[in-house]
Chain A
């Protein structure tokens, strides 16, 4: 389709987003940084540069002039104009594509303390569930799409980006990791309400 063609030409007609004289925007030198903290930010930015150049259909919605063709999505220094201080504060909560871990709080009904775990450490649901069961000395039992964790003493739930409480295991692992904000282990009896469709 035309989209692939125009992608090939992007390099030639590319709108330069870097400082004059810089050849590869991905390797933008970070020598003009003023904020000590930004050393972590710069590595995040560089990894962003290397990651997805937007290639879905939305980039070529129109056949109009080059003004409406999106240039390659490269992270530009100091753009958008948000103070490093603010960016850093938000990044502590955001899920990063790579780099730092994804720490979420885990609470359990009746337990006096919350725990924190790094979701990045686990590669799949079984690993995560095993870790949770060990951490809180509880059991979840078998997960089934239909019955959830029916029959077990406890069940793992999580709060997603929309603020809804979901049963752990329903969505694909990667989707879970990127949308999970917090975990909560509830009593099996409460879990009945979260049983799947």
Chain B
């Protein structure tokens, strides 16, 4: 359902954008060679590909915050939303003959072939479906929702930036959003290392018994036991090889630096 929505949203916007591209002031001579035909062909290819590829990849039930945001965004753009009641343009018909049949799909509905416009609202994990909602009613709801949202309607992926703000911006509220939208990435090797280290600290006493490692002696005794066990395992193999993982998940443990709060 979501994939179909996306397609329709893109198609409607694309019909306008496509025209924009043709008028774009292309400075390079070579650009003139890129004809209208090829642009349209590209656009068709792009849209069809997008449709094929995103079909069926999203499951309606698994609604994440971001998906809800997407729909909120589309809700706040009555133009796209109103697509369902607008007949397809000549351009659209020319580009996508298949669009004719799917054009009637309402954007936010679970059913695909109904004639009564449905409005589906996803709110706080619950899905509400309303039948027979007129375009004006829907637009009114969208405007209300738009006023209610804190941030300006943007696509989820970009950081929620109000670019008209003065220079010394208060980053506090935005930072949380930055982190969820596009969190600072870490290298894979560091991720693994930090995960292993956390595992070690969290299961620092793999054996029950008096092993909260309060004293060094306890630790040593416990350690000697574990080492014994490890040696036993190793002897079973023909060759001496590296232990699989010297980490608590396999019953290993190594001295914790004294100052760590473990």
**Chains A and B come from one and the same complex:** no
Residues of B within 8 A of A (CB): none
Residues of A within 8 A of B (CB): none
